[in-house]
Structure 1
Amino acid sequence: MYDLRRLQILRELHHRGTLSAVATALSYSTSAISQQLSQLESEVGVRLLEPDGRRVRLTAQARILVAHAETILNQLEEARSDIAASLDVISGTLRVAGFQTAALNLLPEVIAWVTRTYQEVEVLLTQAEPDEAIPGVLAREFDLAIVESFPGQPLVRSEAIEQHLLFEDAMRLGISASDPRARFGLSLEQLAEDPWIMEPAGTPAREWAVDVCRKAGFEPRVQYESPDMFVHQRFASQGLALAFLPDLMWANTRPDVSLHLLRPGMARTVYTVVRAGAGGHPVIRAFHDALMIALNGTTSLVMRNLQAAPGSQSSRVPNGK
């Protein structure tokens, strides 16, 4: 019989990559983690780790064991959900991760509704991008993540997670309202010589934005970089750069830039992600229900604010699903 805690440690190593990262996450010393994995090797009877420079990597046999451990841990997740659902009171702590515009314009309303409705539920929020949030769900740092994906960059499918579509969030070209071109219909081809502000190189949003420009026949001149969409908005409003801006930005703020939906399909898709087996937990169900309620209100706010945008050419907004 294999020790479940040691299987969890091996699984953590698979997701986190280093012994020190596992030790930090689990509040152990690195030597204690190493000792636990050595004992697991003795239980299994095969080598599970091999040197990889200054690090270690999982052997083929360790990866087989991790796959089975995932199944066992998913079943335990289902058991936790079923037990929680059998109780009369919805209670517990929910750790949520969300990207910037969701954390600002969607999640405060959701968290307020959940904590008012279920007084024994505590919600903890961390702002995190998908490349941090999804591994965090797998590593049990978070219970639920709100993540985004862009056309051509779908989320990686995994039996270890459940994902649910929330809505599609249109991405519009933001251009200074004082730019004479803002009064007319625009095409990307007209903008080949303009400077841009985009997210940092290597991020999915940057790769998507660059690909959109390349398909229009030019390489964008990225003069400014920031992970903050509201920095993008500010630079666009001052006429310093063009920007791609998501509709979700405008739930609580009226645009001060001219916004143009250049072509169908220019949208990011927003999902929730939880561990496999956890979707039935009553706290997660309650939070998801609150998300759907909040989306209806957010859609109305976005539509109203987009209609007030200077020179905007479209009023299409997120569709809650």
Structure 2
Amino acid sequence: MLNVHRLTLLRELHRRGTLAAVARDLNYSPSAVSHQLSQLEKEAGVPLLEPVGRGVKLTDAARMLVSRTDEILAVLDRAEADLAASTPTVSGTLRVTSFHSALATILPTALTLLSARHPDLRVEVFHREIGAAFDGLAAHLYDLVIGDQWPDEPDPVRPGMERQELFADPMLLVMPADRPEPTEPADLTELADARWAIDPEYLPGGRWVRRMLAQAGVVPEVLCDTDDPLLQAHLVRTGHAVAVIPSLLVGSFLDQTRALPLPGGPARLLYTAVREGQTGHPAVRAFRAALASAARRESPEI
């Protein structure tokens, strides 16, 4: 019989292209991945890999197996959800991945609510960039992604995954308290001389902020290129930069600063995503309910 874990490794090799990438992203050694795939080849009874230069590529039989693996894993997800729903308590381990501002605000409140409502449920939290988060969700490394979608950026949720909206989080222009105040909503051209703390350009938020500034005719002088909004806020608070910060961080994170709405009131959309087969899992439903309650408590816009 074919081993499901080994099928998953074959699928990840198809997605990532090299044994080294699979090993790196799934925390194995390349030799361990190679050994597992050799064992799968013995189980299958047909060649699955063939050498190409220093690497390998999948045979036609291997690609057929990969196409079936998605179906197999989806069935197993639904079976696991059904089994969990047959018990009277919400228990087990839920692996959640998220980004900075959610980790610093709504997630701790959600964990507090969950510990009171479902003490037998264990939550493990991983801070990951959005691409790595969805790679991990597809690879069954994580069970749920707390994600955000920025204006004019594509939906990162992939086929075979289910998205549930949380709320829209308006973006604010945040300045040191002693900086001369621009008009409201903020006229970005008045900040042509400012130094900025801004997300890297390879991230959706960084691309969006740069597009917004370019449309206003502003070429930002970047003091700090960082994806950490708390560091951005600290640089603003200490008088060194201006930044675009989500409303979710309004409060103690933005004390001693002045925040103004941006033209047009842009907002990012916060959501959760799971594999479709896990939508009805009691742990997923309990976590989503706690997160929604936390969002109502912590977001100034709800």
TM-score, scaled relative to structure 1: 0.83
Counterpart of 1:295? Answer: 295
Counterpart of 1:141? Answer: 141
Judge conservation of contact 1:143–1:275 (CA < 8 Å) in 2: yes
For residue 222 of structure 1, what is the amino acid of its counterpart? V
- In structure 2, runs of 5+ residues without a counterpart are none
From the superposition, tell whether residues 48 and 168 of structure 1 become closer, same or farther in structure 2 (CA, over 3 Å): farther
Judge conservation of contact 2:148–2:271 (CA < 8 Å) in 1: yes
Counterpart of 2:231? Answer: 231
In 1: Cα distance, 2:216 partner to 2:64 partner:
45
Judge conservation of contact 2:195–2:223 (CA < 8 Å) in 1: yes
From the superposition, tell whether residues 184 and 84 of structure 1 become closer, same or farther in structure 2 (CA, over 3 Å): closer
For residue 249 of structure 1, what is the amino acid of its counterpart? L
Counterpart of 2:259? Answer: 259
Shift of 1:253: 4.3
Judge conservation of contact 1:197–1:224 (CA < 8 Å) in 2: yes
From the superposition, tell whether residues 85 and 110 of structure 1 become closer, same or farther in structure 2 (CA, over 3 Å): same
User: Identity across aligned pairs (percent)?
Assistant: 36
Counterpart of 1:127? Answer: 127
What does 1:299-310 align with in structure 2 at a 5 Å threshold? 299=299, 302=300
Judge conservation of contact 1:172–1:259 (CA < 8 Å) in 2: yes
In 1: Cα distance, 2:297 partner to 2:174 partner:
24
Counterpart of 1:244? Answer: 244
**1:69 equivalenced with 2:69 (yes/no):** yes
For residue 188 of structure 1, what is the amino acid of its counterpart? L
Shift of 1:238: 3.2
Shift of 1:89: 1.9
Counterpart of 2:33? Answer: 33
For residue 104 of structure 1, what is the amino acid of its counterpart? A
Counterpart of 1:168? Answer: 168
Judge conservation of contact 1:176–1:182 (CA < 8 Å) in 2: no
Judge conservation of contact 1:150–1:267 (CA < 8 Å) in 2: yes
For residue 269 of structure 1, what is the amino acid of its counterpart? L
Report how many residues are paired.
301
Judge conservation of contact 1:137–1:274 (CA < 8 Å) in 2: yes
From the superposition, tell whether residues 297 and 227 of structure 1 become closer, same or farther in structure 2 (CA, over 3 Å): same
From the superposition, tell whether residues 168 and 64 of structure 1 become closer, same or farther in structure 2 (CA, over 3 Å): farther
From the superposition, tell whether residues 209 and 78 of structure 1 become closer, same or farther in structure 2 (CA, over 3 Å): same
Counterpart of 1:181? Answer: 181
TM-score, scaled relative to structure 2: 0.88
Question: Which stretch of the first structure deviates more once superposed, 136-145 or 233-242?
Answer: 233-242
Judge conservation of contact 2:168–2:269 (CA < 8 Å) in 1: yes
Counterpart of 2:111? Answer: 111
- In structure 1, runs of 5+ residues without a counterpart are 303-316
Paired residue secondary structure (1:217): coil
Shift of 1:158: 2.3
What does 1:266-285 align with in structure 2 at a 5 Å threshold? 266-285=266-285
Paired residue secondary structure (1:11): helix
Shift of 1:203: 1.8
Paired residue secondary structure (2:123): strand
Judge conservation of contact 1:98–1:128 (CA < 8 Å) in 2: yes
For residue 179 of structure 1, what is the amino acid of its counterpart? R
